[in-house]
Structure 1
Amino acid sequence: MTKKMIQDQASGLRRLTQPSLTKVIAVTGGKGGVGKSNVTLGLAMCMARQGKKVMVLDADLGLANVDVMLGIRSKKNLGHVLAGECELKDAIVEGPYGIKIIPATSGTQAMTELSHAQHAGLIRAFGTLEDEMDVLLIDTAAGISDMVVSFSRAAQDVVVVVCDEPSSITDAYALIKLLSNEHQVQRFKIVANMVRSYREGRELFAKLTLVTERFLNVGIELVACIPLDDKVRQAVKKQKIVVDAFPRSPASLALGSLANKALTWPIPNTPSGHLEFFVERLLHTTEMLEEPFGE
């Protein structure tokens, strides 16, 4: 794809995207098994119950699970969009409380190794969305792949989900380090998940703070401590999210509080607050990621 083609595409996106303000939040975690998807979908449901128009993008392009967790059968997914078999709007399915879900495809190695043209095609597809939305939540893949970096760097807020395990803290630190040192992301919101007490959550945050303050020039903020709650496991077995299956459980109440807080996070009162900004930043990020060294 030539530079002129990219510029033309960005120009077209300005015309295609809606001018309404959309809050874009990337939920990531550095490693798998920290409850990232549960947090994403819990936030989505809590926000939707307040009348917000919410869309969830399953950005784990190799091991998608959002639709599975909700018990939703989708005929089309991002794989079909990238193959040119349908438009993005045709892949969107509706979940509980009217949440719009963009499902990814699971178990396809090729989806984790997208070319620049495929990256651009995905981003261009976002520019065709006609429905206005209040919040776009991005459930990223685990690890520090190009796609995780792309979506995290393009979002307005990056939420890092961490649990009290050495590997979780180490991987979260590695992700924060990569995003801050190489991609100028300087502020991160931390969710301490599956903790036995608020004190344990604070101690977990302190461990992460210790290394980030020593080695990185970033700002991290503890925005939620979500308790270890057996109701989460029970909800998963029912293919439901805990805030829907057990709305008064400790984890549900914590997720509801986090959703309320997230809705107050400011959207820049500039073009950077528009969905078009997310799309164009995503385009710019993938271009940077795939530039050959030395050019």
Structure 2
Amino acid sequence: MELPMHAELPLVFSVTSGKGGVGKTNLSVNLACCLAAAGKRVVLLDADLGLANVDVVLGLTPQRNLFHLFHDGATLDEVLCPTPYGFDILPASSGMSEMLSLSTGQKLELLEALDALEDRVDYLVVDTGAGINDNVLYFNLAAQQRLVVLTPEPTSLTDAYALIKVLKLNHGVEHFKVLVNMATDERGAKEMFTRLYKACDHFLSGVSLDLAGFVPRDPIVRKAVVSQRPFCSVALDSPACRAVRQVAATVQTWDVPAALDGNIKFFWKKLLFRS
């Protein structure tokens, strides 16, 4: 599909986690939904390339995905899939082992394809896989802002710290936004953030963390997942939707770092030169 032109540079931010099962993809979908509802042009990239499920969460069956971009010569506009919620997705494939680790050539190919979005979106939301594998690190390095998702569980905290540690020590990334999902209440969310903050402050000199917000446990989330619809489209007054809407408002205050060459490639070239 053809997206309308837009004059300003987009903000590209990743939604990422060190541990699976923290609700990262569902948050990505609902953030995209809220940003679109605020009148923003949004594309959601499913960057969990081998185990993609953004389309499943949305109840969509795209005809093409990023596999076709890399292997069948499909164009970006052929892969872009509209949703009923005002934003578009770039779906990935599921169960394709050849997508689990992109070659340098494929990274360059994706970079060049996404560059076409420069004047056509306000936000490119990148839903990464979980963990610290090559693809997860690649997309986090490619983003201008990184939103690390964790839950009130010790393993989630440990794995979030591990992701931040690798990005800091191996790649020099120092600035992270943090979102606590499935929180019991605001106090509990702030306690989890404080624990992560103290660990980074003690062991990772130079790392800065900002609490972007928290999303409380809410039964509507499970119901929406089962119905394959964003909870922010079916329960606007639910606690979870109100929280995500607030996070989306916070996202709109984030700075767009200056691009290296004036377009969406920003830091991607630096990353490719390291490969």
- TM-score normalised over the length of structure 2: 0.93
2:183 corresponds to which residue? 195
1:117 shift after superposition = 1.4
1:230 corresponds to which of 213, 219, 222: 219
Query: How far did residue 88 of structure 1 move?
Result: 1.6
Which protein is bigger by CA-based radius of gyration? 1
* SS of structure 1 residue aligned to 2:140: helix
Superimposed CA distance per residue, residues 224-266 of structure 1 (whole angstroms, 9 cap, x where no aligned partner): 1110111100000100111112111101000000001110112
Conservation of the 8 A alpha-carbon contact between 1:19 and 1:274? no
Query: Secondary structure of the residue that 2:178 maps to in structure 1?
Result: strand
1:77 aligned to 2:44? Answer: no
Residue number in structure 2 paired with 1:57: 45
What residue number does 1:284 align with? 270
Tell me the equivalent position of 2:102.
114
Instruction: State the match for 1:211 in structure 2.
Output: 199
Alignment-mate amino acid for residue 212 of structure 1 = C
What letter matches 1:267 in structure 2? Answer: V
Displacement after TM superposition at 1:272 (Å): 4.8
Structure 1: distance between partners of 2:261 and 2:140 = 15
2:83 aligned to which of 92, 95, 101: 95
Residues 10 and 118 of structure 2 are in contact (CA less than 8 Å); yes or no, is this contact kept in structure 1?
no
Q: 1:149 aligns with which of 115, 130, 137?
A: 137
Alpha-carbon contact 1:89-1:129 (below 8 Å) kept: no
1:176 to 164, 167, 185: 164
Q: Is contact 1:18–1:275 with CA below 8 Å preserved after alignment?
A: no
Q: 1:86 aligns with which of 46, 64, 74?
A: 74
1:125 pairs with 2:113: yes
TM-score by length of 1: 0.87
1:32 to 16, 20, 23: 20
Aligned length: 270
2:33 is aligned with 1:45: yes
Identical amino acids, percent of aligned pairs: 41
Rounded to whole Å, the distance in 2 between the matches of 1:189 and 1:161 is 9
- Residue identity matched to 2:233: D
Q: Which amino acid aligns with 2:29?
A: L
In structure 2, relative to structure 1, the CA distance for the partners of 1:47 and 1:162 (3 Å cut) is same
Amino acid paired to 1:153: L
After TM superposition, give the deviation of residue 61 of structure 1 in Å.
0.3
1:241 paired with 2:230, answer yes
Deviation at 1:271, TM superposition (A): 3.2
Q: Would the aligned equivalents of 1:24 and 1:135 in 2 still touch at CA under 8 Å?
A: yes
Alignment-derived partner of residue 11 in structure 1? none
Task: Give 1:22's aligned residue.
Answer: 10
The answer to whether 1:265 aligns with 2:254 is yes
Higher helix share: 1
CA RMSD of aligned residues (A): 1.8
Following superposition, the deviation at residue 223 of structure 1 comes to: 1.3
What secondary structure is seen at the aligned counterpart in 2 of 1:223?
Answer: strand
Name the residue aligned to 1:14. none
User: 4+ runs of 1 displaced by more than 6 Å?
Assistant: none
| Deviates further, 77-86 or 54-63 | 77-86
Q: Structure 1 CA distance, aligned partners of 2:116 and 2:254?
A: 26
